[in-house]
Amino acid sequence: MRMRTFATTAASAAVIALLATACSGGGSGTEDPKPGQTQATSNERSDKVLTVGMPNGEASANQNPIAPGSGSTSFGYAYAIYESLMQVNEVKPTDPPAPWLAEKIEWNADYTQAVITPRAGVTWSDGEPFTAEDIAYSIQIRKDNPELNVDFPDQYGEITTDGSTVTVGFTTGQLVNEVKLYKLLIVPKHIWENEDPVTYTADTMIGTGPFTLKSFTPQAVTLVPNDGYWGDKPLVGELRYDAFKDNAGLTTALTSGDAQWGWTFIPDFENTFIAQDPEHFHQVAGGGFGVDVLYLNNEEKPFDDVAFRKALNMVVDRADISATAGYGVWPQITSVTGLPEPSGDAFISDEFAGQELSVDVDGAKQVLTEAGYTWDGDALVDPDGEKVSFTLTNPQGWTDYLDALSIIAEGAKSLGADATVEPVVQDTWFNQIINLGDFQASLHWTDGGSTPWNLYSNIMDGASYVKRGEPANWNFGRYKNDEVTQALATFKSSADEGERMAALATVQKRFVEDVPGLIIWSRPAVAQYSTVNYTGFPTAEDPYANPQPTGPQAALILTRLKPTA
């Protein structure tokens, strides 16, 4: 059986170099410093605290690292305690992954089977050895519990071990989803097998990562170094994760130095944040396929009518949204296919090459007129004789989203539609509004990945369709088209490049013509950090990882940080 292996000698050497050096941290001080990393560093563990902040409100008392909505993943501290199989650089999505808890992962030709070789010499933080059984168990509980299986719903096949390796079967090809396997967090079988993995809150948090849990409150979580860690021992003396209720609260903490690492939207970040301490304060952003989408409820007025969806798409001023709501941090989407530049350029089908989005109010009104819409004065009236109105919903405090919604509402009003922006409580949005389909229009992100498949699947895939009122993992707008579902399945599973690109062209055609949602801007990975106490974070010059603290890459970053001398 022909296998594709992601642990070449070069890759192994690269990750060893990552662990053994701090090339983004200014080295030993004898080399020329890089921008953003000018401080000399120390190889001794510091007693200074590194405070991480997220604008997600208080953490729920749930430490379960694989349960959706867990406080430990929302805050980010789960990723310093539990680790993934491989390290994936989401900033450079076409780069091969680097070995982490897995020394290598080999795929068969059609990506329906992966053979995982665990890293030797790893122990859990309670001293028990890490084995292939832990990996197999961590994947099996996802297969057995749909609530935990966000990444591969109904797609796992047989999961077996032979003592030294784990073989994971899939019911369909996973070429586009391989990184999701690499990013799965692994939990200890010897503890979890005695618990219900869905309801288990994992209060003791036994992991393989560079840190362990010291204390928890909903407002603040404290971690300390794991002295038995298998990799380079962390030099950060203590990690603290603080709760902030919104973007403004975290921005204040970052600019005052009360938080030194996090990610939030900061309007006019150069003046608001960096200018407060240009030597130490930094913001870094990377590329990828992630975008933000205005999900439209395709099963409720006015968005159950493709004509209105098309018309709204034609009056949204994305340039204004990027410049005004995004302050240029979130780049404008220009292609009618919704693909971000430059990652998506090679994937645009010939039919839509060179076709760009633009504001066309007259053209949008013509689309509506041909579909039977009329006007009562300035008010738009649908073919049923009802005035068109809708609500745009997102969490309060998410200023970039809410400002973007206001500009979208202005576009709708240019058509005569009555559009209002309604901020809501964040927990309500996460747990009731967006996933249950209890909205008319709402901004949400998509996954990245190494191809556009995740972007389109998250918006359009019938495989993710559930009825309103049932929790959806993706396809929040409840779009359903069998042709698109099949094309996405083909792109995902086919090993034939021509067949895959033909399937992608079908998806793009339906995206452009059906407008199931409005891709607004691209969403590069953005983070802010201070080098007052620690240096070695990813930079524009050395984008070795997604710079954010809320992902498996946190374990890699934390092993590269050095105290500022």
Q: What is the pLDDT of residues 142-188, one digit of tens each?
A: 999 999 998 898 999 999 999 899 999 999 889 888 999 999 999 99
- In DSSP notation, 134-172 reads HHHHHHHHHHH-GGG-SSSTTTEEEEEE-SS-EEEEESS
Query: What are the strands, taking DSSP E only, across 20-101?
Result: 49-54, 86-87, 98-99
Q: 245 falls in which pLDDT band (50, 70, 90)? A: confident
Q: What's 41-81+209-283+528-564's CATH class?
A: alpha beta
Listed by start position, the domains of the chain span 41-81+209-283+528-564, 83-204, 291-522
Q: Report CA torsion sign: 487, 493, 498, 501.
A: positive
Q: Is residue 85 within 8 Å of 275, Cβ to Cβ? A: no
Q: What's 291-522's CATH class?
A: alpha beta
How confident is the model at residue 281, as a pLDDT?
97
Q: What is the pLDDT of residues 5-64, one digit of tens each?
A: 434 333 333 333 333 323 333 333 323 334 444 567 889 999 999 999 988 888 888 999
Count of other CB atoms within 10 angstroms of residue 513: 9
Quote the pTM value. Answer: 0.74
Q: Is residue 560 within 8 Å of 552, Cβ to Cβ? A: no
Q: Is residue 126 within 8 Å of 38, Cβ to Cβ? A: no
Q: 2 falls in which pLDDT band (50, 70, 90)? A: very low
**C-alpha 214: how far from chain center:** 27
The side-by-side arrangement of strands in the sheet containing 261-262 is: 211-216, 220-225, 238-243, 49-54, 261-262, 526-530, 281-285
Average pLDDT of the residues in 255-272:
93
Q: Is residue 439 within 8 Å of 393, Cβ to Cβ? A: yes
Greater model confidence, 59 or 97? 97
How confident is the model at residue 288, as a pLDDT?
80
Rounded-to-integer distance, Cα 506 and Cα 488, Å? 9
Q: Is residue 414 within 8 Å of 362, Cβ to Cβ? A: no
Q: DSSP 3-state assignment of 50?
A: strand
How confident is the model at residue 286, as a pLDDT?
78
Q: What's 83-204's CATH class?
A: alpha beta
Directed axis angle between helix 306-315 and helix 399-414, to 10°?
110
